[in-house]
Amino acid sequence: MLKYIVKKLFIMVITLWIIITLTFVLMVSVPGSPFNSETNSNEIVQENLEKHYNLDKPYHIQYLLYLKSIITLDFGPSIKQPNQTVNDLLGRGFPISFELGIVTIIVAVISGIILGILAALRHNGIIDYLAMGIAVLGISIPNFILATLLIQKLAVDWEIFPVATWSSPLHMVLPVLALATGPMAIIARLTRSTMLEVLTQDYIKMARAKGLTPWKIIVKHALRNALMPVITIMGTLLAGILTGSFVIEQIFAIPGMGKYFVESINHRDYPVIMGTTVFYSAFLIIMLFLVDIAYGLLDPRMKVNKKEGE
């Protein structure tokens, strides 16, 4: 197991390096500069700005400077917000995106699983159609439409929740709803299909024959196996949701880090592009790694196979 982890870690570092290098190459090959604002300017001012941010240096020097900044974990100041370092921006934004993400994931997983189970148990019944109807809507309605709709109805018309900003648990409700619906729908459909499959298995019949109560059968025997595919998609889902959603954060004026992914590229804010890319890729790689490990721990078949393999 230890050997496996060390090998994995090595591959993770190499992957990260490849991502960094590719990002750098893409970044410098895209035309534009961080100083193309709509305000007036002249050549001297532009030169001073480029010098200030080391953009006048040859590309290989810039590349080495970036590598250095990544190794020392100090990305320097943002070009768009020169008084803030990239570390400041991510350090402030990430906890907020993370908070929103965790709540969203919890809501999505629990409600998705419940919907999925209900649908599977009442297969082809009204509840099934209802649950799957909700799931199809959840997948097909983009979250920004849902967000706008929620704000208009629940905040402006009925005044139950605040419109936007991020200052109290009450402010969380609408963005969480908007963000959780999509993943919830995906999880519900996955759970339903695997549940249906599992419920026809012999060991379920066996459990039923033994006279176990229905909910014991579902929770202890069926659900545990039905959840495997859900865990598989959790890695990508977690990394995506926990690092913030640009659209939802923009609509609800949530000061998370989602916006930096998009805005840094629009502004050609090179240090922020590098910072967010490294952060996101590292996060995603670690999440996938954790899912790998969780898989081994949860699925007895995998464990057996591994032992045999070793």
Partner 1 sequence: MKRLLFFMAAVLSIFVLVACTANEDAGKDPDEKDKVEEPAGDDGESTDEGTSGEKVLKLNNATEPTSLDPSIGFDAVSWDPLNNLMEGLTRLDENHQAGPGVAEDWDISEDGKTYTFHLRENAKWSNGDPVVAEDFEFAWKYMLNPETASAAAFLGYFIEGAEAYNSGEGSADDVKVTAVDEKTLEVVLAQPTGFFLDVLTNPAFFPIHHKIAEENPNWHAEAETFVGNGPFKLESWEHNVEMVFSKNEHYWDAGVVKLDKVHFAMVNDTNTQYQMFESGDLDTASIPPELSDELIEDDNVFIGPYGGLEFYRFNTTIEPFQNKKIRQAFAYAVNREDIATYVVKNGVEPAYGFINPGYTSPTGSDFRDANGDLVTFDPEKAKQLLEEGMAEEGYDELPPITLTYNTSDTNKAVAEALQSMYQENLGIEVKLENQEWNVFSDAQKALELQFSRSSFINDYNDPVNFLESFITDSYMNRTGFSNPEYDELITKGKTETDEEKRWEYLYEAEKLLAEEMVAMPIRYYNTVVLEAEGVEGILRHPVGYFDLKFADKK
Distance CA 170, CA 160 (A): 9
Q: Which is nearer to partner 1, 121 or 293 (CB)?
A: 121
Select from 49, 65, 228, 286 the one that contacts partner 1 (CB under 8 A). 49
CA-wise closest residue to 265 among 22, 66, 30: 30
Binding mask 61-80 for partner 1 (x = CB under 8 A): -------------------x
Q: Does 172 bind partner 1 (CB under 8 A)?
A: yes
Select from 11, 25, 26, 32 the one that contacts partner 1 (CB under 8 A). 32
Query: Is residue 285 a contact partner of residue 243, using CB atoms and an 8 Å limit?
Result: no
Query: Is residue 171 a contact partner of residue 96, using CB atoms and an 8 Å limit?
Result: no
Q: Which is nearer to partner 1, 189 or 268 (CB)?
A: 268
Distance CA 57, CA 33 (A): 14
Distance CA 34, CA 9 (A): 35
Q: Does 169 bind partner 1 (CB under 8 A)?
A: yes
How far, rounded to the nearest angstrom, does the alpha carbon of residue 184 sit from its chain's CA centroid?
14
Select from 2, 3, 29, 42 the one that contacts partner 1 (CB under 8 A). 42
Q: Which is nearer to partner 1, 64 or 145 (CB)?
A: 145
Q: Which stretch binds partner 1 (CB under 8 A): 57-65, 210-218, 285-293, 298-306?
A: 210-218
Q: How many CA atoms lie within 13 A of 152 on its CB side?
A: 6
Q: SS3 for 212? A: coil
Q: Which stretch binds partner 1 (CB under 8 A): 20-28, 155-163, 230-238, 288-296?
A: 155-163
Residue whose structure tokens are 């035309």 = 31
Amino acid 293 reads I
Q: Does 107 bind partner 1 (CB under 8 A)?
A: yes
Q: Which stretch binds partner 1 (CB under 8 A): 49-57, 202-210, 234-242, 283-291?
A: 49-57
Query: Is residue 208 a contact partner of residue 173, using CB atoms and an 8 Å limit?
Result: no
Q: Where is 11: in which H helix or E strand?
A: helix 2-29
Q: Which residues bind partner 1 (CB under 8 A)?
A: 30-33, 35-46, 48-49, 51-53, 80-84, 88, 92-93, 95-96, 99, 102-103, 106-107, 110-111, 114, 118, 121, 148, 151-152, 155-156, 159, 162-169, 172, 213-215, 219, 250-253, 255, 259, 266, 268
